[in-house]
Protein backbone atom coordinates (compact mmCIF):
# COMPACT_ATOMS: atom_id res chain seq x y z
CA UNK A 1 0.00 0.00 0.00
CA UNK A 2 1.43 3.27 -1.05
CA UNK A 3 0.92 5.13 2.18
CA UNK A 4 2.22 2.57 4.59
CA UNK A 5 5.62 3.06 6.14
CA UNK A 6 7.90 0.49 7.69
CA UNK A 7 7.67 0.96 11.46
CA UNK A 8 11.33 1.90 11.73
CA UNK A 9 11.28 4.33 8.83
CA UNK A 10 11.63 8.02 9.56
CA UNK A 11 8.29 9.79 9.56
CA UNK A 12 8.51 11.18 6.07
CA UNK A 13 5.78 11.09 3.48
CA UNK A 14 6.27 8.82 0.52
CA UNK A 15 4.55 11.01 -2.00
CA UNK A 16 3.05 14.39 -2.45
CA UNK A 17 3.57 15.60 1.08
CA UNK A 18 4.07 19.27 1.71
CA UNK A 19 7.64 20.43 1.56
CA UNK A 20 8.55 22.54 4.56
CA UNK A 21 11.44 24.80 5.44
CA UNK A 22 13.43 22.00 6.98
CA UNK A 23 10.95 21.64 9.84
CA UNK A 24 8.97 18.45 10.41
CA UNK A 25 6.43 17.82 7.67
CA UNK A 26 4.27 15.85 10.08
CA UNK A 27 2.94 16.67 13.51
CA UNK A 28 4.80 15.04 16.41
CA UNK A 29 2.78 12.52 18.42
CA UNK A 30 0.44 13.75 21.15
CA UNK A 31 -0.35 10.55 23.06
CA UNK A 32 -2.91 11.03 25.80
CA UNK A 33 -1.87 10.59 29.40
CA UNK A 34 -4.33 7.94 30.52
CA UNK A 35 -5.46 6.25 33.73
CA UNK A 36 -4.74 2.50 33.87
CA UNK A 37 -8.31 1.36 33.32
CA UNK A 38 -8.48 2.86 29.82
CA UNK A 39 -5.63 1.04 28.00
CA UNK A 40 -6.53 -2.12 29.95
CA UNK A 41 -10.09 -2.05 28.61
CA UNK A 42 -8.89 -1.15 25.13
CA UNK A 43 -6.78 -4.29 25.03
CA UNK A 44 -9.47 -6.53 26.47
CA UNK A 45 -12.03 -8.74 24.69
CA UNK A 46 -14.76 -6.87 26.59
CA UNK A 47 -14.26 -3.84 24.34
CA UNK A 48 -15.31 -5.95 21.37
CA UNK A 49 -18.23 -7.45 23.30
CA UNK A 50 -19.44 -3.93 24.02
CA UNK A 51 -18.95 -2.87 20.40
CA UNK A 52 -21.08 -5.78 19.24
CA UNK A 53 -23.71 -5.33 21.94
CA UNK A 54 -24.31 -1.68 21.07
CA UNK A 55 -24.90 -2.61 17.45
CA UNK A 56 -21.70 -1.64 15.70
CA UNK A 57 -22.10 2.13 15.97
CA UNK A 58 -20.07 4.65 17.95
CA UNK A 59 -20.23 4.58 21.74
CA UNK A 60 -18.77 6.33 24.74
CA UNK A 61 -17.22 4.52 27.69
CA UNK A 62 -17.37 6.09 31.16
CA UNK A 63 -15.54 5.00 34.31
CA UNK A 64 -17.22 6.37 37.44
CA UNK A 65 -14.38 5.02 39.61
CA UNK A 66 -12.06 7.64 38.13
CA UNK A 67 -14.63 10.39 38.70
CA UNK A 68 -14.92 9.27 42.35
CA UNK A 69 -11.13 9.39 42.76
CA UNK A 70 -10.93 12.90 41.22
CA UNK A 71 -13.74 14.08 43.48
CA UNK A 72 -12.23 12.51 46.59
CA UNK A 73 -8.88 14.17 45.87
CA UNK A 74 -10.55 17.61 45.71
CA UNK A 75 -12.57 17.07 48.88
CA UNK A 76 -9.37 15.91 50.60
CA UNK A 77 -7.50 18.98 49.30
CA UNK A 78 -10.00 21.23 51.10
CA UNK A 79 -9.75 19.18 54.29
CA UNK A 80 -5.94 19.21 54.16
CA UNK A 81 -6.01 23.01 54.42
CA UNK A 82 -8.67 22.78 57.19
CA UNK A 83 -11.13 24.62 55.01
CA UNK A 84 -14.84 23.79 54.90
CA UNK A 85 -16.44 23.54 51.52
CA UNK A 86 -18.33 21.61 48.89
CA UNK A 87 -17.24 20.35 45.48
CA UNK A 88 -20.19 20.63 43.07
CA UNK A 89 -19.88 18.63 39.86
CA UNK A 90 -20.52 20.98 36.90
CA UNK A 91 -23.01 18.67 35.22
CA UNK A 92 -22.77 20.41 31.85
CA UNK A 93 -19.40 18.71 31.26
CA UNK A 94 -21.00 15.31 30.62
CA UNK A 95 -24.58 14.07 30.73
CA UNK A 96 -23.98 10.53 32.06
CA UNK A 97 -26.04 9.81 35.15
CA UNK A 98 -23.36 7.49 36.50
CA UNK A 99 -21.30 10.45 37.76
CA UNK A 100 -24.19 11.74 39.84
CA UNK A 101 -24.35 8.62 41.96
CA UNK A 102 -20.65 9.15 42.78
CA UNK A 103 -21.39 12.75 43.79
CA UNK A 104 -23.97 11.61 46.35
CA UNK A 105 -21.35 11.70 49.12
CA UNK A 106 -20.49 14.10 51.95
CA UNK A 107 -18.61 17.16 50.76
CA UNK A 108 -19.98 16.94 47.23
CA UNK A 109 -22.92 18.27 45.26
CA UNK A 110 -23.97 19.04 41.70
CA UNK A 111 -24.01 22.35 39.82
CA UNK A 112 -27.01 22.48 37.46
CA UNK A 113 -28.32 25.03 34.98
CA UNK A 114 -31.63 23.58 33.74
CA UNK A 115 -34.72 21.77 34.98
CA UNK A 116 -33.66 18.44 33.43
CA UNK A 117 -30.23 18.72 35.07
CA UNK A 118 -31.93 19.52 38.39
CA UNK A 119 -34.28 16.55 38.05
CA UNK A 120 -31.40 14.24 37.11
CA UNK A 121 -29.47 15.30 40.19
CA UNK A 122 -32.43 14.75 42.52
CA UNK A 123 -33.28 11.44 40.87
CA UNK A 124 -29.75 10.18 41.37
CA UNK A 125 -29.61 10.86 45.06
CA UNK A 126 -28.25 14.40 45.30
CA UNK A 127 -30.07 16.18 48.10
CA UNK A 128 -31.45 19.59 47.16
CA UNK A 129 -29.26 21.33 49.74
CA UNK A 130 -26.28 19.94 47.78
CA UNK A 131 -27.48 21.35 44.45
CA UNK A 132 -26.17 24.68 43.22
CA UNK A 133 -28.10 26.41 40.44
CA UNK A 134 -26.03 28.53 38.07
CA UNK A 135 -26.62 29.73 34.52
CA UNK A 136 -27.82 32.92 32.91
CA UNK A 137 -31.28 34.37 33.67
CA UNK A 138 -32.68 31.07 34.86
CA UNK A 139 -36.14 29.96 33.76
CA UNK A 140 -39.11 30.50 36.07
CA UNK A 141 -39.52 26.74 36.31
CA UNK A 142 -35.94 26.24 37.42
CA UNK A 143 -36.18 29.00 40.04
CA UNK A 144 -39.45 27.59 41.36
CA UNK A 145 -37.98 24.09 41.58
CA UNK A 146 -34.87 25.41 43.34
CA UNK A 147 -37.08 27.31 45.79
CA UNK A 148 -39.36 24.33 46.48
CA UNK A 149 -36.45 22.02 47.15
CA UNK A 150 -34.16 24.46 48.93
CA UNK A 151 -31.23 24.56 46.51
CA UNK A 152 -28.60 27.31 46.44
CA UNK A 153 -29.15 29.82 43.60
CA UNK A 154 -26.42 32.00 42.06
CA UNK A 155 -28.10 35.26 41.02
CA UNK A 156 -26.71 37.13 38.02
CA UNK A 157 -28.71 40.34 37.86
CA UNK A 158 -31.15 42.59 39.76
CA UNK A 159 -34.21 41.38 37.83
CA UNK A 160 -33.29 37.78 38.53
CA UNK A 161 -33.16 38.55 42.24
CA UNK A 162 -36.76 39.79 42.02
CA UNK A 163 -37.76 36.62 40.18
CA UNK A 164 -36.08 34.51 42.87
CA UNK A 165 -38.09 36.41 45.51
CA UNK A 166 -41.32 35.67 43.55
CA UNK A 167 -40.38 32.01 43.25
CA UNK A 168 -39.72 31.96 47.01
CA UNK A 169 -43.15 33.46 47.67
CA UNK A 170 -44.75 30.88 45.35
CA UNK A 171 -42.85 28.06 46.96
CA UNK A 172 -43.62 29.27 50.46
CA UNK A 173 -40.02 29.30 51.65
CA UNK A 174 -36.93 31.49 51.67
CA UNK A 175 -34.27 30.84 49.04
CA UNK A 176 -30.52 30.79 49.72
CA UNK A 177 -28.69 32.92 47.17
CA UNK A 178 -25.18 33.81 46.12
CA UNK A 179 -24.71 37.06 44.24
CA UNK A 180 -22.52 36.52 41.18
CA UNK A 181 -19.75 39.03 40.70
CA UNK A 182 -18.69 40.19 37.24
CA UNK A 183 -14.92 39.73 37.31
CA UNK A 184 -13.04 43.04 36.95
CA UNK A 185 -10.86 41.17 34.43
CA UNK A 186 -13.95 40.51 32.27
CA UNK A 187 -15.94 43.77 32.31
CA UNK A 188 -17.78 42.77 29.13
CA UNK A 189 -18.91 39.40 30.42
CA UNK A 190 -22.65 38.87 30.15
CA UNK A 191 -22.60 37.18 33.55
CA UNK A 192 -22.52 38.67 37.01
CA UNK A 193 -22.95 42.12 38.52
CA UNK A 194 -20.59 45.07 38.58
CA UNK A 195 -19.73 46.79 41.87
CA UNK A 196 -22.69 49.21 41.92
CA UNK A 197 -25.26 46.57 40.97
CA UNK A 198 -23.77 44.25 43.56
CA UNK A 199 -24.09 46.79 46.35
CA UNK A 200 -27.67 47.53 45.33
CA UNK A 201 -28.42 43.79 45.28
CA UNK A 202 -27.01 43.35 48.79
CA UNK A 203 -29.31 46.15 50.01
CA UNK A 204 -32.24 44.59 48.16
CA UNK A 205 -31.59 41.25 49.88
CA UNK A 206 -32.21 43.05 53.20
CA UNK A 207 -35.55 44.31 51.90
CA UNK A 208 -36.44 40.83 50.67
CA UNK A 209 -35.72 39.31 54.07
CA UNK A 210 -37.84 36.22 54.60
CA UNK A 211 -37.87 35.41 50.89
CA UNK A 212 -34.18 35.56 50.12
CA UNK A 213 -31.21 34.73 52.32
CA UNK A 214 -27.87 36.10 51.14
CA UNK A 215 -25.40 33.26 51.69
CA UNK A 216 -22.48 34.92 49.91
CA UNK A 217 -20.93 35.63 46.53
CA UNK A 218 -19.72 33.74 43.48
CA UNK A 219 -17.75 34.06 40.26
CA UNK A 220 -16.67 31.94 37.32
CA UNK A 221 -13.50 32.90 35.48
CA UNK A 222 -12.36 32.01 31.99
CA UNK A 223 -8.97 30.36 31.74
CA UNK A 224 -7.27 28.02 34.16
CA UNK A 225 -4.93 30.20 36.19
CA UNK A 226 -4.53 29.92 39.96
CA UNK A 227 -3.64 33.50 40.81
CA UNK A 228 -6.72 35.37 39.48
CA UNK A 229 -9.02 32.86 41.18
CA UNK A 230 -7.26 33.25 44.51
CA UNK A 231 -7.24 37.04 44.21
CA UNK A 232 -10.92 37.32 43.36
CA UNK A 233 -11.79 34.80 46.09
CA UNK A 234 -9.98 37.06 48.55
CA UNK A 235 -12.15 39.98 47.41
CA UNK A 236 -15.26 37.82 47.88
CA UNK A 237 -14.22 37.19 51.49
CA UNK A 238 -14.22 40.99 51.96
CA UNK A 239 -17.68 41.18 50.40
CA UNK A 240 -18.92 38.55 52.88
CA UNK A 241 -17.49 40.50 55.80
CA UNK A 242 -19.21 43.70 54.62
CA UNK A 243 -22.49 41.87 54.00
CA UNK A 244 -22.39 40.39 57.49
CA UNK A 245 -22.01 43.88 58.91
CA UNK A 246 -25.28 44.66 57.14
CA UNK A 247 -26.96 41.71 58.87
CA UNK A 248 -26.61 38.99 56.21
CA UNK A 249 -25.44 35.45 56.84
CA UNK A 250 -22.86 35.62 54.00
CA UNK A 251 -20.84 32.55 54.94
CA UNK A 252 -19.98 31.07 51.50
CA UNK A 253 -18.03 31.95 48.40
CA UNK A 254 -18.09 30.02 45.13
CA UNK A 255 -15.07 30.20 42.84
CA UNK A 256 -16.82 28.44 39.93
CA UNK A 257 -15.09 25.95 37.65
CA UNK A 258 -12.03 26.10 35.46
CA UNK A 259 -9.90 23.64 37.42
CA UNK A 260 -7.21 22.70 34.91
CA UNK A 261 -6.66 19.36 33.17
CA UNK A 262 -3.59 18.02 31.34
CA UNK A 263 -4.26 15.67 28.46
CA UNK A 264 -0.69 15.17 27.25
CA UNK A 265 2.81 15.48 28.71
CA UNK A 266 4.61 18.79 28.97
CA UNK A 267 7.27 17.62 26.51
CA UNK A 268 4.81 16.51 23.85
CA UNK A 269 2.77 19.66 24.20
CA UNK A 270 5.85 21.85 23.88
CA UNK A 271 6.91 20.00 20.72
CA UNK A 272 3.48 20.50 19.20
CA UNK A 273 3.13 24.15 20.16
CA UNK A 274 6.57 25.20 19.05
CA UNK A 275 6.28 23.49 15.69
CA UNK A 276 2.56 23.80 14.87
CA UNK A 277 2.04 24.67 11.23
CA UNK A 278 -0.86 24.41 8.77
CA UNK A 279 0.97 21.71 6.78
CA UNK A 280 0.37 19.30 9.65
CA UNK A 281 -3.37 19.52 9.00
CA UNK A 282 -5.51 18.32 6.12
CA UNK A 283 -6.25 21.24 3.79
CA UNK A 284 -4.12 23.42 6.06
CA UNK A 285 -6.96 23.55 8.59
CA UNK A 286 -4.86 24.36 11.64
CA UNK A 287 -6.98 25.65 14.54
CA UNK A 288 -6.13 29.17 15.64
CA UNK A 289 -6.83 28.39 19.27
CA UNK A 290 -6.89 25.17 21.24
CA UNK A 291 -7.39 24.10 24.81
CA UNK A 292 -4.02 24.16 26.63
CA UNK A 293 -3.55 20.38 26.50
CA UNK A 294 -0.81 20.50 29.07
CA UNK A 295 -0.82 22.76 32.11
CA UNK A 296 0.18 22.77 35.77
CA UNK A 297 -1.09 22.61 38.43
CA UNK A 298 -4.21 20.58 37.66
CA UNK A 299 -7.11 18.99 39.54
CA UNK A 300 -6.80 18.75 43.32
CA UNK A 301 -3.26 20.14 43.18
CA UNK A 302 -4.65 23.31 41.64
CA UNK A 303 -7.26 23.54 44.41
CA UNK A 304 -4.45 23.35 46.97
CA UNK A 305 -2.48 25.99 45.07
CA UNK A 306 -5.48 28.35 45.09
CA UNK A 307 -5.97 27.89 48.83
CA UNK A 308 -2.27 28.52 49.48
CA UNK A 309 -2.03 31.66 47.37
CA UNK A 310 -1.18 34.72 49.40
CA UNK A 311 -3.02 38.02 49.06
CA UNK A 312 -2.17 40.94 51.30
CA UNK A 313 0.06 38.80 53.50
CA UNK A 314 -2.35 35.92 54.18
CA UNK A 315 -3.16 32.80 52.24
CA UNK A 316 -6.73 32.25 51.09
CA UNK A 317 -7.24 29.20 53.33
CA UNK A 318 -6.39 31.27 56.38
CA UNK A 319 -8.82 34.01 55.42
CA UNK A 320 -11.59 31.46 54.88
CA UNK A 321 -10.88 29.76 58.22
CA UNK A 322 -10.57 32.99 60.20
CA UNK A 323 -13.86 34.27 58.86
CA UNK A 324 -15.79 30.96 58.99
CA UNK A 325 -16.43 31.03 55.29
CA UNK A 326 -17.02 27.91 53.22
CA UNK A 327 -15.53 27.66 49.75
CA UNK A 328 -17.60 26.11 46.96
CA UNK A 329 -16.08 24.77 43.73
CA UNK A 330 -17.93 23.93 40.51
CA UNK A 331 -15.47 21.84 38.48
CA UNK A 332 -16.84 20.06 35.44
CA UNK A 333 -13.99 19.00 33.19
CA UNK A 334 -11.53 18.26 36.02
CA UNK A 335 -13.86 15.77 37.74
CA UNK A 336 -14.30 13.68 34.59
CA UNK A 337 -10.61 13.89 33.66
CA UNK A 338 -9.38 10.43 32.65
CA UNK A 339 -12.86 9.01 33.20
CA UNK A 340 -14.00 8.20 29.69
CA UNK A 341 -13.15 7.54 26.05
CA UNK A 342 -15.08 7.48 22.80
CA UNK A 343 -15.09 4.67 20.27
CA UNK A 344 -15.81 5.10 16.56
CA UNK A 345 -15.87 2.01 14.33
CA UNK A 346 -13.90 2.50 11.12
CA UNK A 347 -16.00 2.49 7.95
CA UNK A 348 -13.35 3.19 5.39
CA UNK A 349 -9.83 4.28 4.60
CA UNK A 350 -8.70 5.84 1.38
CA UNK A 351 -4.96 6.15 0.84
CA UNK A 352 -3.95 9.45 -0.71
CA UNK A 353 -0.64 11.14 -1.35
CA UNK A 354 0.70 12.57 1.89
CA UNK A 355 -2.03 11.35 4.16
CA UNK A 356 -5.14 9.26 3.79
CA UNK A 357 -8.82 9.75 4.66
CA UNK A 358 -10.32 7.65 7.42
CA UNK A 359 -14.10 7.67 7.75
CA UNK A 360 -15.66 6.47 10.96
CA UNK A 361 -19.18 5.57 12.03
CA UNK A 362 -20.36 8.54 14.02
CA UNK A 363 -20.19 12.29 13.68
CA UNK A 364 -17.82 15.03 14.70
CA UNK A 365 -20.65 16.33 16.91
CA UNK A 366 -19.46 13.61 19.31
CA UNK A 367 -16.17 15.47 19.64
CA UNK A 368 -17.31 18.96 20.56
CA UNK A 369 -14.02 20.74 20.19
CA UNK A 370 -14.54 20.72 16.41
CA UNK A 371 -17.63 22.88 16.91
CA UNK A 372 -15.63 25.72 18.37
CA UNK A 373 -13.43 25.91 15.28
CA UNK A 374 -10.80 24.10 17.33
CA UNK A 375 -9.50 20.54 17.51
CA UNK A 376 -9.33 17.81 20.15
CA UNK A 377 -5.63 17.11 19.89
CA UNK A 378 -4.79 13.96 21.91
CA UNK A 379 -3.98 11.22 19.39
CA UNK A 380 -6.73 8.76 18.46
CA UNK A 381 -5.70 5.11 18.86
CA UNK A 382 -6.42 2.36 16.34
CA UNK A 383 -7.69 -0.92 17.80
CA UNK A 384 -7.53 -3.52 15.06
CA UNK A 385 -10.05 -6.32 14.75
CA UNK A 386 -7.43 -8.57 13.15
CA UNK A 387 -3.76 -7.71 13.55
CA UNK A 388 -2.00 -6.73 10.35
CA UNK A 389 1.66 -6.44 9.54
CA UNK A 390 1.25 -3.29 7.48
CA UNK A 391 3.17 -0.33 8.80
CA UNK A 392 1.86 2.98 10.10
CA UNK A 393 -0.05 5.55 8.09
CA UNK A 394 -0.91 9.19 8.30
CA UNK A 395 -4.56 10.12 8.09
CA UNK A 396 -7.16 12.70 8.95
CA UNK A 397 -10.49 11.47 10.24
CA UNK A 398 -13.96 12.28 8.94
CA UNK A 399 -17.42 11.45 10.23
CA UNK A 400 -20.09 9.46 8.40
CA UNK A 401 -22.12 12.41 7.17
CA UNK A 402 -22.45 14.24 3.86
CA UNK A 403 -20.83 17.38 5.24
CA UNK A 404 -17.35 18.25 4.03
CA UNK A 405 -16.66 19.85 7.41
CA UNK A 406 -17.78 16.82 9.45
CA UNK A 407 -14.23 16.06 10.53
CA UNK A 408 -13.15 14.62 13.88
CA UNK A 409 -9.44 15.25 13.31
CA UNK A 410 -8.02 17.61 10.70
CA UNK A 411 -4.47 16.89 11.81
CA UNK A 412 -2.75 14.15 9.79
CA UNK A 413 -2.26 11.79 12.71
CA UNK A 414 -0.20 8.65 12.72
CA UNK A 415 -1.98 5.33 13.16
CA UNK A 416 -0.01 2.14 13.76
CA UNK A 417 -1.55 0.43 10.72
CA UNK A 418 -3.87 1.32 7.86
CA UNK A 419 -7.37 1.33 9.41
CA UNK A 420 -9.80 -1.20 7.98
CA UNK A 421 -13.57 -1.37 8.13
CA UNK A 422 -14.48 -3.06 11.39
CA UNK A 423 -11.50 -1.70 13.35
CA UNK A 424 -12.17 0.73 16.18
CA UNK A 425 -10.77 4.22 16.48
CA UNK A 426 -10.60 5.29 20.12
CA UNK A 427 -10.45 8.93 21.18
CA UNK A 428 -8.97 9.04 24.69
CA UNK A 429 -10.11 11.17 27.64
CA UNK A 430 -13.20 12.62 26.01
CA UNK A 431 -15.55 12.74 29.01
CA UNK A 432 -15.01 16.47 29.63
CA UNK A 433 -17.27 18.33 27.19
CA UNK A 434 -16.29 16.24 24.14
CA UNK A 435 -18.78 13.37 24.23
CA UNK A 436 -22.18 14.86 24.34
CA UNK A 437 -22.19 18.65 24.45
CA UNK A 438 -22.97 19.02 20.75
CA UNK A 439 -24.35 15.65 19.71
CA UNK A 440 -27.31 15.59 17.35
CA UNK A 441 -29.29 12.97 15.49
CA UNK A 442 -28.12 14.24 12.09
CA UNK A 443 -28.99 11.77 9.29
CA UNK A 444 -31.32 10.19 11.86
CA UNK A 445 -28.31 8.46 13.34
CA UNK A 446 -28.92 7.43 16.95
CA UNK A 447 -26.88 9.23 19.62
CA UNK A 448 -23.93 7.10 20.77
CA UNK A 449 -24.86 5.20 23.93
CA UNK A 450 -22.78 5.55 27.08
CA UNK A 451 -21.39 2.38 28.57
CA UNK A 452 -20.44 2.36 32.25
CA UNK A 453 -17.44 0.20 33.12
CA UNK A 454 -15.58 -0.83 36.26
CA UNK A 455 -12.01 -2.03 36.78
CA UNK A 456 -13.05 -5.66 36.23
CA UNK A 457 -14.51 -4.73 32.83
CA UNK A 458 -18.05 -5.38 33.98
CA UNK A 459 -20.26 -3.03 32.06
CA UNK A 460 -23.81 -1.83 31.59
CA UNK A 461 -25.51 0.96 29.72
CA UNK A 462 -25.78 4.25 31.59
CA UNK A 463 -29.28 4.46 33.05
CA UNK A 464 -31.06 7.75 33.56
CA UNK A 465 -31.97 6.84 37.13
CA UNK A 466 -30.63 4.23 39.54
CA UNK A 467 -31.60 0.61 38.99
CA UNK A 468 -31.19 -2.27 41.43
CA UNK A 469 -27.45 -1.93 41.29
CA UNK A 470 -26.86 1.65 42.30
CA UNK A 471 -23.13 1.94 41.63
C1 LIG B 1 -20.79 28.99 36.37
C2 LIG B 1 -19.94 27.85 35.92
N3 LIG B 1 -19.50 26.96 36.84
C4 LIG B 1 -18.75 25.90 36.48
C5 LIG B 1 -18.38 25.68 35.16
C6 LIG B 1 -17.54 24.46 34.83
O7 LIG B 1 -16.31 24.81 34.29
P8 LIG B 1 -15.15 23.71 34.07
O9 LIG B 1 -15.75 22.56 33.39
O10 LIG B 1 -14.12 24.42 33.27
O11 LIG B 1 -14.64 23.35 35.44
C12 LIG B 1 -18.81 26.57 34.17
C13 LIG B 1 -18.45 26.36 32.75
O14 LIG B 1 -18.72 27.12 31.87
C15 LIG B 1 -19.63 27.68 34.56
O16 LIG B 1 -20.08 28.56 33.64
Tens digits of per-residue pLDDT, 380-408? 999 999 999 898 999 999 999 999 999 99
Helix (H) or strand (E) holding 266: helix 266-275
Q: What is the pLDDT of residues 105-124, one digit of tens each?
A: 999 999 999 999 999 999 99
Check residue 20 and give its pLDDT.
40
Which residue's alpha carbon is at the smallest distance from atom 14 of ligand 1?
A: 257
> Is the pLDDT score of 44 beyond 70?
yes
- The reply to whether ligand 1 has any atom less than 6 angstroms from the CB of 436 is no
Residues of CATH 2.40.37.10 domain(s) within the chain? Answer: 37-62+340-461
pLDDT value, residue 8: 35
pLDDT tens for 195-211 read 999 999 999 999 999 99
CB 402 within 8 A of CB 61: no
For residue 17, pLDDT beyond 70: no
pLDDT in tens, 213-242: 999 999 999 999 999 999 999 999 999 999
pLDDT reported for residue 23 = 56
User: Of the given ranges (24-33, 53-62, 432-441), which has the lowest mean pLDDT?
Assistant: 24-33
CA-to-CA dists, residue 186 to 26, 160, 202, 316, 348, angstroms: 38, 21, 21, 22, 46
Over residues 324-339, mean pLDDT: 98
Nearest to 448 by CA among 438, 357, 90, 456: 438
Ligand 1 centre to CA of 90 (Å) is 6
Pocket test for ligand 1, best of 186, 328, 330, 432 (most atoms within 8 A of CB): 330
Q: In this predicted structure, what is the pLDDT of residue 256?
A: 98
Q: Is the CB of 183 under 6 A from ligand 1?
A: no
pLDDT reading at 134 higher than 60: yes
- The predicted pLDDT at position 18 comes to 37
Nearest atom (ligand 1) to Cα of 432: 9
Nearest-angstrom CA–CA distance, 465 and 381: 32
Ligand 1, atom 16, residue with closest C-alpha: 220
**Looking at ligand 1, which residue's alpha carbon is closest to its atom 6?**
257
In the chain, CATH 3.20.20.10 covers 64-261+298-336
- Ligand 1 pocket test: pick from 67, 89, 92 the residue with the most ligand atoms within 8 Å of its Cβ: 92
Residue 9 pLDDT: 36
Q: What is the mean pLDDT of residues 42-70?
A: 98
- Nearest protein Cα to ligand 1, atom 7: 257
How confident is the model at residue 469, as a pLDDT? 66
Q: Which residues have a Cβ under 8 Å from the Cβ of 232 and sit 6 or more positions away?
A: 181, 183, 184, 219, 221, 255
Enumerate the β-bridge partners of residue 315.
310
pLDDT score recorded for residue 75? 98
- The enclosing H or E element of 413 equals strand 407-415
Can you give the pLDDT at residue 25?
81
pLDDT band at 467 (very low <50, low <70, confident <90, very high): confident
CA of 389 to the centre of ligand 1 (A): 45
CB distance 378 to ligand 1 below 6 Å: no
* Residues facing residue 87 across a β-bridge: 108, 329
DSSP-assigned states of every residue in 421-467 = TT-EEEEES-TTTTTTSS---GGGPPPPPEEEE-TT--EEE--SS--
pLDDT of 471: 56
Report whether 71 contacts 335 (CB < 8 A): yes
What is the residue-averaged pLDDT of the chain? 94
Residue 5 reports pLDDT greater than 80:
no
- Residue located nearest, by CA, to atom 9 of ligand 1: 332
299 lines ligand 1 (CB under 6 A): no
Q: Which of ligand 1's atoms lies nearest the C-alpha of 433? A: 9
Topology of 37-62+340-461 in CATH?
A: Lyase, Ornithine Decarboxylase; Chain A, domain 1 (2.40.37)
Q: How far is the CA of 330 from the centre of ligand 1 (A)?
A: 6
Could you tell me the distance, in angstroms and rounded to a whole number, from the CA of residue 256 to the centre of ligand 1? 6
Mutate to test the pocket of ligand 1, among 110, 257, 295, 431 (most ligand atoms within 8 A of CB): 257
- The yes-or-no verdict on residue 45 having pLDDT over 50 is yes
The answer, yes or no, to whether any atom of ligand 1 lies below 6 A from the CB of 333, is: yes
Mean pLDDT score, 430-444? 96
Residue owning the nearest CA to atom 10 of ligand 1: 258
How far does residue 113's CA lie from ligand 1's centre (Å)? 10
Q: Fold for domain 64-261+298-336?
A: TIM Barrel (3.20.20)
Residue 3 has pLDDT above 90, yes or no: no
The reported pLDDT for the residue numbered 4 is: 37
Band of residue 470 on the pLDDT scale cut at 50, 70, 90: low
429 close to ligand 1 (CB < 6 Angstrom): no
Asked whether 259 lines ligand 1 (CB < 6 A), one says yes
Check pocket membership of 156 for ligand 1, CB cut-off 6 A: no
Determine whether the shortest distance from the Cβ of 256 to ligand 1 is under 6 A: yes
* Number of other residues whose CB lies within 10 A of the CB of residue 373: 10
For ligand 1, mutation pick of 191, 256, 435 (most atoms within 8 Å of CB): 256
The reported pTM is: 0.94
Nearest CA to ligand 1 atom 12: 257
> 257: Cβ below 6 Å to ligand 1?
yes
Q: Which pairs from 15-18 meet CB under 8 Å and 24+ separation?
A: 15/353, 15/354, 16/352, 16/353, 16/354, 17/353, 17/354, 17/355, 18/279, 18/354
pLDDT at 199: 98
pLDDT reported for residue 391: 87
**Which pLDDT tens digit goes with each residue over 255-294?**
999 999 999 999 999 999 999 999 999 999 999 999 999 9
Output the residue whose Cα is nearest ligand 1's atom 13: 257
- Structure confidence at residue 417 as a pLDDT band (50, 70, 90): very high
Amino acid sequence: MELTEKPAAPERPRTGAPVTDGAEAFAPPLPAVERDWAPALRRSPELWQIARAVGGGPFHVVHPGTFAANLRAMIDALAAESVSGTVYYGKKANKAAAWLREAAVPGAGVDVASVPEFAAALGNGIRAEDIGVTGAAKSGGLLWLAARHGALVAVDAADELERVACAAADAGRSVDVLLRVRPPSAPESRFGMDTDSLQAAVRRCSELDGRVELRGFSFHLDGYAVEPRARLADTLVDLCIDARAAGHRADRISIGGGIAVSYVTEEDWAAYRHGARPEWFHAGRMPEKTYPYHQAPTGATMVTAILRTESRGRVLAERLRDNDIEILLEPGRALVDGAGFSVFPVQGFEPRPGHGVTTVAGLSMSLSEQWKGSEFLPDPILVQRDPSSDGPVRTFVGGASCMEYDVLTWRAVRLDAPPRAGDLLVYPNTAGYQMDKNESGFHQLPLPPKVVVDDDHRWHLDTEFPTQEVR
